[in-house]
Chains A and B, each alone.
Chain A
Amino acid sequence: MDLEVLVALPIIIPLLLGALSLTVLSNHSAQRWLGAIGTALLLLCSVWLLLHTREVGIQVLEVGSWPAPFGIVLVSDMLGAIMVVLASITGFATALYSLKTVRKRFERFGYYPLLHLLLAGVNGAFLTGDIFNLYVWFEVLLVASFALLILGGERAQMEGAIKYVTLNLLSSALFLTAIGLTYGLVGTLNMADIAVKMASLEDQKMVTVIASLFLIAFAIKAAAFPLFFWLPASYHTPQVAVSAIFAGLLTKVGVYALYRVFTLIFTADTGFTHEILLWIAIFTMLTGVLGAAAQFEVRRILSFHIISQIGYMILGLALFTPLALIGGVFYIMHHIIVKANLFLVAGLMYRLGGSFELKKLGGLYRNHPGLAVLFLIPALSLAGVPPLSGFFAKFILIKAGVEASAWWAVGVALLVGLLTLFSMIKIWNEAFWKASPEPNPAVPAPTRNALLYWTIGLLAAMTVCIGLFAQPIYQMAEMAAAQLLNPAGYIEAVLGGTTP
């Protein structure tokens, strides 16, 4: 019983940390300590939660002792726990990276409290078992992300932020509409209870309408085709550390929400909903990678690749076979780490090479071979080169596609993998391999960047480890997929008398 509180810790820790660092807003060193040590603590707790969930099964916490369909529950199943660990890893890496890169002006503006608030929102979204509570956590992380996005106040940031804010608010309004209709239809907000009551309805037409609304709302958040335009317009504008945590986490919250509702609640009419998801996945993969091919700014290339990678994750959900879901979960695990890392590498490239534009960069391999290696690991993993993490993720998904005879999806997935490799080689050739366009680029003293190297190296090591020790990771993904495919277990855990 006592370990129940573990489920709440990933939310309560960043919330408390954020509040504490708000009270010491003008004390810079206190803020940094709270940021680094606090996120480390968060990481420890979330790993503990994951291990506990793997050991014991789905964990349910009834907030305030209100029994399940009436009160809000926090649920930690394998998918939720895995996502929380990934969020904490990204948060920890970002906090470390921020120590050296975030200016004092931004710290006074509230950078660290916002970072904690963002993590609280993301973890809350991953752990809640209540659909309206999910909306609230979405808004919490959105408000934090709005403020982080415009930190610095440059023109590009403002223009990007207006699009980001508008599209995300539109998505929130649709989400709220869908919640309203759900409540009108079944009279409950608990996701497990909704699943039970929706399945017992005679008229499934309204259910499909609501499913479509949820699909659009979450697809905007996940930046899926055709509603992805806000992402490449905004993600390259903020501070690099902010870009990294956005790239790693925010769209994945949308993907997580899709995984949650389309495995738990809307499984009656998979011929309709999951067929749409399949085509969304195919077009998302394609448009993302083609968009990236046209770009020559490192962060914009990476932004477009987020979109194409989202396509793979949705593909896993759309195929809806055990293997495909395993692949999808594995892909999310691999992608969050790799993507956050690539943005951090881009930040270091800017510090060392003085630009994000490929035309102005060059000679980085010669001057900083260490960075070149650290770029290659996540870049090749993103493209799916064995034995790195991305290879296994793509391999499982494509195998699932072949088994389900989704030939279009398989073909596009393979092609997009190839084009991703092309994109990464483009960055490699331009930024690292070719001679520097300026004869003597200003090179800052290397010691100042040691912490940044360590952060990037840590994430790169994780990428390698996921590739080399794929078996235990695969097993966790397998457990998560098994729980997703058998929602009865989730429903049983939430509604079936777990009260102490």
Chain B
Amino acid sequence: MKPRRFNMRSLILNTGSSLLLPLLVLFSLFLLLRGHDEPGGGFIGGLVAAAAVALKLFAEDYKAARDMLRVHPLQLVGIGLVLAAVASLPPLFVGESFFTAQWWSLDLPIFGELKLSTPLLFDIGVFLGVIGTVLTVVFTLAEAEHS
């Protein structure tokens, strides 16, 4: 089996992707935060963010996508897992069972009430973990195609 090189530069995709990218990233963050009490969440948000990077991969090339991410995707998985694991610990300090959700409410001058919680931290962990996992797979396959 001879590995085929894929090359599908297209001006339309290239221009379109530079417009779409910020939108996709913003949309993924929106999904992540909306997941708080409405449909959405870290998993789906992570998938959208990973799709943004994958779009970069298709529109430009492997190297551009890697540069956009800056870190190794496996490191993202690591950070995500650390966050998710750490999110399980705070209840222990207030004498509640492991993984019980903790909520803190902050009053900000202009924006109003800001609700922070351990599920949010967990969700951010999931978000990073999903991006990392999906991109590890995508990059591995792209690398195999690349070389």
A and B touch in the complex (CB under 8 A): yes
- Give how many B residues have a beta carbon under 8 Å from the other chain's beta carbons: 21
Residue pair B98, A5 in contact (C-beta under 8 Å): yes
Residue pair B81, A63 in contact (C-beta under 8 Å): no
Of all chain A residues, which has the CB nearest B80?
A: A19
Contact of B98 among A4, A15, A18, A19 (CB under 8 A): A4
Give me 17 A-to-B residue pairs in the complex whose CB atoms sit less than 8 angstroms apart, sorted by A's number: A1-B95, A8-B88, A12-B85, A12-B88, A18-B81, A19-B78, A19-B80, A20-B82, A23-B75, A23-B82, A61-B97, A63-B99, A64-B97, A64-B99, A65-B97, A113-B78, A500-B97
Task: Label chain B's interface by main secondary structure.
Answer: helix
Given contacts A22-B81, A64-B98, 10 further A-B contacts (CB under 8 A): A12-B88, A16-B85, A18-B81, A19-B81, A20-B78, A25-B72, A61-B97, A64-B101, A65-B96, A65-B97
On whether A25 and B78 interact (CB within 8 A), knowing A5-B92, A16-B85, the answer reads yes
A62: CB under 8 A from chain B? yes
Of all chain A residues, which has the CB nearest B88?
A: A12
Contacts of B86 in A (CB 8 A): 16
Q: Which of A8, A15, A64, A113 has the most C-beta atoms of chain B within 10 angstroms of its own C-beta? A: A64
B77: CB under 8 A from chain A? yes
Cα–Cα distance between A342 and B144 once the two chains are bound (Å) = 37
Residue pair A65, B100 in contact (C-beta under 8 Å): yes
Of all chain B residues, which has the CB nearest A61?
A: B98
Residue pair B75, A4 in contact (C-beta under 8 Å): no
A21: CB under 8 A from chain B? yes
B74: CB under 8 A from chain A? yes
B79: CB under 8 A from chain A? yes
Residue pair A19, B85 in contact (C-beta under 8 Å): yes
Contacts of A25 in B (CB 8 A): 72, 74-75, 78
Cα–Cα distance between A110 and B81 once the two chains are bound (Å) = 15
How far in angstroms is the closest Cβ of chain A from B92? 6
Which B89-107 residues sit within 8 Å CB-CB of chain A?
91-92, 95-101
Residue pair A64, B75 in contact (C-beta under 8 Å): no
How far in angstroms is the closest Cβ of chain A from B137? 12
Residue pair A23, B97 in contact (C-beta under 8 Å): no
Place the interface of chain A in its size category. Answer: 20 to 34
Among all A-B residue pairs, the 3 with the closest Cβ atoms: A22-B78, A19-B81, A23-B78
How far in angstroms is the closest Cβ of chain B from A439? 44
How far in angstroms is the closest Cβ of chain A from B76? 9
Cα–Cα distance between A16 and B81 once the two chains are bound (Å) = 7
Cα–Cα distance between A43 and B81 once the two chains are bound (Å) = 22
Q: Which of A18, A19, A63 has the most C-beta atoms of chain B within 10 angstroms of its own C-beta? A: A19
Where the two chains meet, the residues of B that have a C-beta atom closer than 8 Å to any C-beta of A are 72, 74-75, 77-82, 85-86, 88, 91-92, 95-101
Which A118-160 residues sit within 8 Å CB-CB of chain B?
none
Residue pair B97, A16 in contact (C-beta under 8 Å): no
Residue pair B81, A8 in contact (C-beta under 8 Å): no
How far in angstroms is the closest Cβ of chain B from A16? 5
Cα–Cα distance between A405 and B86 once the two chains are bound (Å) = 54
Cα–Cα distance between A20 and B101 once the two chains are bound (Å) = 23
Cα–Cα distance between A20 and B95 once the two chains are bound (Å) = 26
Cα–Cα distance between A18 and B78 once the two chains are bound (Å) = 8
Cα–Cα distance between A235 and B39 once the two chains are bound (Å) = 44
Fill in one digit per residue for A19-37: 1 if any B CB lies within 8 Å of its CB, else 0: 1111101000000000000
Contacts of B95 in A (CB 8 A): 1-2
Residue pair B85, A15 in contact (C-beta under 8 Å): yes
How far in angstroms is the closest Cβ of chain B from A118? 14
Contacts of A5 in B (CB 8 A): 92, 98
On whether A23 and B79 interact (CB within 8 A), knowing A15-B85, A16-B85, A64-B101, the answer reads yes
On whether A19 and B92 interact (CB within 8 A), knowing A61-B98, A63-B97, A500-B97, the answer reads no
Contacts of B91 in A (CB 8 A): 65
How far in angstroms is the closest Cβ of chain B from A14? 10
Contact of A22 among B74, B97, B99 (CB under 8 A): B74
Of all chain B residues, which has the CB nearest A9?
A: B98
Fill in one digit per residue for A477-500: 1 if any B CB lies within 8 Å of its CB, else 0: 000000000000000000000001
Contacts of A22 in B (CB 8 A): 74-75, 77-78, 81
Cα–Cα distance between A65 and B102 once the two chains are bound (Å) = 11
Cα–Cα distance between A113 and B136 once the two chains are bound (Å) = 15
Contacts of B85 in A (CB 8 A): 12, 15-16, 19
Cα–Cα distance between A20 and B96 once the two chains are bound (Å) = 25
Residue pair A21, B88 in contact (C-beta under 8 Å): no
Contacts of A20 in B (CB 8 A): 78, 82
Cα–Cα distance between A165 and B86 once the two chains are bound (Å) = 32
Cα–Cα distance between A310 and B56 once the two chains are bound (Å) = 51
Contacts of A4 in B (CB 8 A): 97-98
Contacts of A64 in B (CB 8 A): 97-101
Cα–Cα distance between A19 and B86 once the two chains are bound (Å) = 11
Cα–Cα distance between A61 and B98 once the two chains are bound (Å) = 8
How far in angstroms is the closest Cβ of chain A from B87? 11
Of all chain A residues, which has the CB nearest B89?
A: A12
Residue pair A16, B82 in contact (C-beta under 8 Å): yes
Residue pair A63, B82 in contact (C-beta under 8 Å): no
How far in angstroms is the closest Cβ of chain B from A307? 33
Q: Which of B75, B82, B96, B99 has the most C-beta atoms of chain A within 10 angstroms of its own C-beta? A: B99
Of all chain B residues, which has the CB nearest A499?
A: B97
Cα–Cα distance between A318 and B107 once the two chains are bound (Å) = 63
Cα–Cα distance between A8 and B100 once the two chains are bound (Å) = 13
